[in-house]
Amino acid sequence: MYRKQIKVLDCSIRDGGLINNYHFTMDFVKAIYRATCDAGVDYMEIGKKLCESEEYTREDYGRWNFCDEEDLRQVVESYECENPPVLTVMFDVGRVDIESLLPAEQSVVGMIRTACYVPDIDKGLYLAKRTKDLGYETTINIMASSAVIETELIEALEQANEAEEVDYLYLVDSYGAFYSEQVTSYLKLYKDHAPNKELGFHAHNNQQLAFSNTQQAIIDGVNLLDATINGIGRGAGNCNLELLLNFLKNPKFDVRPLYKVIQEQMVGLRKQIEWGFNDIYGISGHLNQHPRGAMKQRANAEIRDNCYDFLIDSTAD
């Protein structure tokens, strides 16, 4: 599959940080940055840009949850590259200090993605407008679409469609619940109700379908695709970037630097933290549930593999 407009966004650090509260070392993040540079990836999302609070302290949460400009510069300046990826950070509605955001021309960040649930769409669009005014590329990532009442989703799509400040509008399979036919049907809703927008897609691998659903999104016309190196990401993880680049065939991509950083960095990390498909996540994906219950079970060594018990508990009346 080759289409010139297709762009790929690596969110290894941002989605992977949900596993370890963003406690990646500076060296690890530099290695990931270097790999995305050498692989020809279009965007690299390096973390969330939240503000500190009593709930979100620097002690508990690592620096990639705050993405201070000097930390990001340290990464970017660690490796010279002719066509580096556009650096991206994520906003969560309600946890952001928009007043302290630098104008894009003074920052190494080029794109800000705002994640919001459907009921928060107005707040999300406000943040998109403010970030666009400061000169950033913008996205709105509507989370958990699979668990939203359709009329509510349509209203949000129509609002986003009218918002000039939104460059990309995302379908996010937060619960890893979609089959490919559902990717197609949700994207039809997006195209019908937000025809002005370029679309993005973000998958989760609960049912081993992150990669295939991303392929389906490509077939259905989506041009901005999220993926992560080795599939790192919360719970069952994401679409594997290295598999996706193989599929895309665009000569600008090179998959070898990704396998290099997997061998040198990810293999060791996999011994410390867990991500990827397993039975428990497969069940929660099929049941279209938030992964928090599944993650809780996986975190308990005594019952982490008790998938039958999890199924029975999850489907009790």
| Residues binding a copy of itself (CB under 8 A) | 1, 179-181, 205, 207-213, 215-216, 230, 240, 242-243, 246-247, 255-256, 259-260, 262-264, 267, 277, 279, 282-283, 286, 305-309, 311-312
Q: How crowded is residue 263: how many other Cβ atoms within 10 Å of its Cβ?
A: 10
Least distance in angstroms from the C-beta of 302 to a copy of itself = 12
Q: Which is nearer to a copy of itself, 101 or 244 (CB)?
A: 244
Question: Of the two residues 116 and 280, which places its CB atom closer to a copy of itself in the complex?
Answer: 280
Cβ closest to a copy of itself, residue 88 vs residue 215: 215
What minimum distance in Å lies between the beta carbon of 14 and a copy of itself? 21
CB count within 10 Å of CB 164 equals 9
Helices 307-314, 279-286: crossing angle, 10 deg rounding: 20
Q: How near is the Cβ of 46 to a copy of itself at its closest, in Å?
A: 23
140 versus 244: smaller Cβ distance to a copy of itself: 244
Measured from the CB atom, the residue of 81 and 312 that comes closer to a copy of itself is 312
Q: Least distance in Å: CB of 210 to a copy of itself?
A: 7
| Cα distance between residue 2 and residue 176, in whole Å | 26
* Three state DSSP letters for 175-202: CCCCCHHHHHHHHHHHHHHCCCCEEEEE
Supply φ then ψ for residue 95, to 5 degrees. -125, 25
Is residue 240 helix, strand or coil? strand
CB of 250 to a copy of itself, least distance (A): 15
Q: Where are the beta strands (DSSP E) in the chain?
A: 7-10, 43-48, 86-92, 109-116, 137-142, 168-172, 198-202, 224-227
Question: Residue 291 Cβ, how far from a copy of itself at the closest point, in Å?
Answer: 16
Short-list 196, 189, 192, 184, CA closest to 150: 189
Distance of CA 25 to the CA centre of its chain: 20
Q: 216 or 228, CB closer to a copy of itself?
A: 216
Instruction: Tell me whether residue 167 or residue 173 sits nearer to a copy of itself (CB atom).
Output: 173
Residues 113, 90 contacting (CB under 8 angstroms): yes
**Two tokens at 143?**
């989370």
By beta-carbon proximity to a copy of itself, the closer residue of 72 and 239 is 239
Give dist(CA 107, CA 184) in Å, integer. Answer: 37
- Residue 179 beta carbon to a copy of itself: minimum distance, rounded to whole angstroms: 7
Name the residue nearer to a copy of itself (CB basis): 139 or 207. 207
Integer-rounded Cα Rg, in Å, for the chain is 19
Candidates 54, 83, 89, 86; CA nearest to 69 is 89
Minimum CB–partner distance for residue 102 and a copy of itself (Å): 37
Longest dimension (CA), the chain: 58
Q: Which helix (H) or strand (E) holds 28?
A: helix 26-39
Q: Distance between CA atoms of 66 and 48, rounded to whole angstroms?
A: 6
Cβ of residue 82: shortest distance to a copy of itself, in angstroms?
22
